Amino acid sequence: MMKKLLEKVLVACNGSDSSLRAVKYGIILSRQTQVQVKVVYIVDSASIKQLTLSRFMDPDEARKISQRLEEDGKNILEHIKLLAKSKKVNIETELRDGAVWSQVISAADEWDADLILLGGTSEGNNMRALNRASVTKQDSEIIGSAHSSVMVVREPHIDQLFKIL
């Protein structure tokens, strides 16, 4: 018997509107196709460390920011669990620490994800929108380095679809 094309979907979330749209897309996908969904939030300690080494940030300030980001991540993941529960979908969540792009790829590899979902802007499909930086540098690293398929979620009506699910 042939393996299903999608069984496990990993969603990278940083709390932004676009990443929360990707989370909602993952929840809808799970509800419609019964795929397993895992949402990861990465505390970007690599950037904080770089700022500290470059003396743009003192170590005490870096520690406080890291703690605040970790707390934000925990709160965001709790909110996401409630979103999934409201749609009767079970999801996994994970808080990780390090360089965002490498941690997303590591999480996907360790979990054997078939697909990684990233949030993207929903500015339309015209050439002007395509010429703008519609994905972040970290998203580009994930897209270029991932061992599984990557999808950038641009669905502009995801909130309405989520409400009627």
- Listed in sequence order, the DSSP H helices in 16-136 are 17-33, 45-53, 59-86, 100-111, 127-131
pLDDT for residue 146: 95
Residues 65-112 pLDDT 10s: 999 999 999 999 999 999 999 999 999 999 999 999 999 999 999 999
pLDDT for residue 130: 45
Residues 40-62 pLDDT 10s: 999 998 888 888 888 888 889 98
Stretch 156-162: mean pLDDT:
94
Q: Is the dihedral of CA 54, 55, 57, 62 positive or negative?
A: positive
Task: Please name every residue paired with 36 in a beta bridge, in sequence order, or none if there are none.
Answer: 8
pTM over 0.85: yes
pLDDT for residue 82: 98
Spell out a b/e string for 86-121, using b for 16 or more CB atoms within 10 Å of the CB, else e.
Answer: eeebebebbebbbbbbbbbbebbeebebbbbbbbbb
Residues 123-143 pLDDT 10s: 554 444 444 455 678 888 999
Q: Which domains does the chain have, with CATH numbers?
A: 8-164 (3.40.50.620)
Q: What is the mean pLDDT of the chain?
A: 91
**pLDDT greater at residue 11 or residue 48:** 11
